[in-house]
Amino acid sequence: MRAALLTPLLAALASYVSLVNSAPALTATPSSQSSPSSSTSSSWWPSSLFSKAKPHPLVLWHGLGDSAFSSNLADLKDSLEEAFPGIYVHLIALGKDEASDRNRGVFGEVDKDVKEVCKTLQEVEELKDGFDAVGFSQGGQFLRALVQRCPQVKVRNLVTFGSQHMGISDFPACQSGDLICRLTEVALRSGIYTDYAQTHVVTAQYYRNPLSPTAFERYLESNHFLTDINNEIPGRQKKVYKERLQALDAFVMLQFDQDTTVVPKRSSWFESYAIANESSTGTTPETIPLRQSDIYLEDRLGLKTLDKRGALVMEVCKGAHMQIDSACQQKVFGTYIGSPRSLFSRSLPRRLRHAWHRLFFMLSGIQGVATWPWSAHLLALLYVAGVMRLVYLAGRWMGGKTREHMEVRRARKEGSIRLP
């Protein structure tokens, strides 16, 4: 009954944060599988709630078959700049024009690409104090690799749309007339684990098929990218990858419920098929839920640590791969993307801030506390104080009952109380 007294405070807190973080969607009508095209009307972001602070800078990495120079990305950039006045948006480009950048997303060595992007971002003045990052499809796991491998950049929130964090076990069907896709498929089918494919064909570097014991063994022997960023090989695991990933304020992973491009689609949530053996071949494959997987239970990448403080966010978007509707956008933009660094986050050291996030999540079950303004944190503090007060009072009451019970037992033993 006493706990029920705190329910209105928690409801008020949730409503306030919902108001602060509310934002109409960027209308997306994607024309490719990799990145959305967006348009928006007049300004609608309630920036007055955040004073005059500029939104945190944003870095975008497109997916396979798209380019930083495409009209889709240009429209998205314009929409974000209109929706969040003052935001700086940086589009990652590996090529000098649309054609070359598109090709670099198909052919190249991912390890070198991540190193190149790390160096490029360090030279961008607007990103010196950190930024948020959004990756579309394969751009998501590339940005995660950047977080883990590039300590010179400071990423606050990492958001991935339909990304292949546990790789792909099959190749998506090519669209009619997509010559680059056809050439890539031929190259992959002819020798995915050759040295050439593992250093020149991008999708080969995150191909992982645990359904075939032979193929999986070759993957562990030949792959240099995905096995590394997932800390998958014993003896080669890097503790620093875990430290850097769990330093994020939030890691948001979005899965598309009708995704047939990413196989399995739950790879976007770090889920994978079980590693097969000779006796299990031929059975219907099912992915292992993240919280039951080795990568989570062993906390190889800090995913469990993030989850325990409510910083690991797993959302579902309705539709096919990269079909980002308004409901999907509202899960991210205005909450994890587009908000400035709060006074709270600027004032407290990261470790202390994350300890507070964990405490509040443990007591309330509410995620996304890292994105809240200082005023919401004050309300949250009142809630936590109320919970702790109830725990204290309950402890005193239970202690009193225990002492009373012990005194009665002692009195009975001494014979000073006669039973009827």
Residues with active-site annotation: 137, 259, 321
Give Cα separations from 338 to 57, 59, 156, 335 (angstroms). Answer: 8, 11, 12, 7
What span, in angstroms and rounded, lies between the C-alpha atoms of 173 and 420?
84
Q: Which residue has the tokens 């998501």?
A: 140
Please say whether the beta carbons of 369 and 311 come within 8 A.
no
> b/e per residue, 87-99, with b = 16+ CB within 10 A?
bbbbbbbbbeebe
Task: Return the closest-CA partner of residue 143 out of 173, 166, 163.
Answer: 163
- DSSP-derived secondary structure for 191-230: HTTSHHHHHHBGGGGGB--TTSHHHHHHHHHH-SSHHHHT
Peptide bond between residue 55 and the one before it cis (omega within 30 degrees of 0): no
What span, in angstroms and rounded, lies between the C-alpha atoms of 239 and 301?
8
Please say whether the beta carbons of 92 and 150 come within 8 A.
no
Q: Which residue has the tokens 């024009």?
A: 97
Q: What is the dihedral of CA 360, 298, 159, 130, to 10 degrees?
A: 80
What span, in angstroms and rounded, lies between the C-alpha atoms of 335 and 329?
10
The helix (run of H) or strand (run of E) holding residue 183 is helix 179-191
Give Cα separations from 29 to 22, 76, 140, 329 (angstroms). Answer: 21, 11, 20, 12
15 in helix, strand or coil? helix
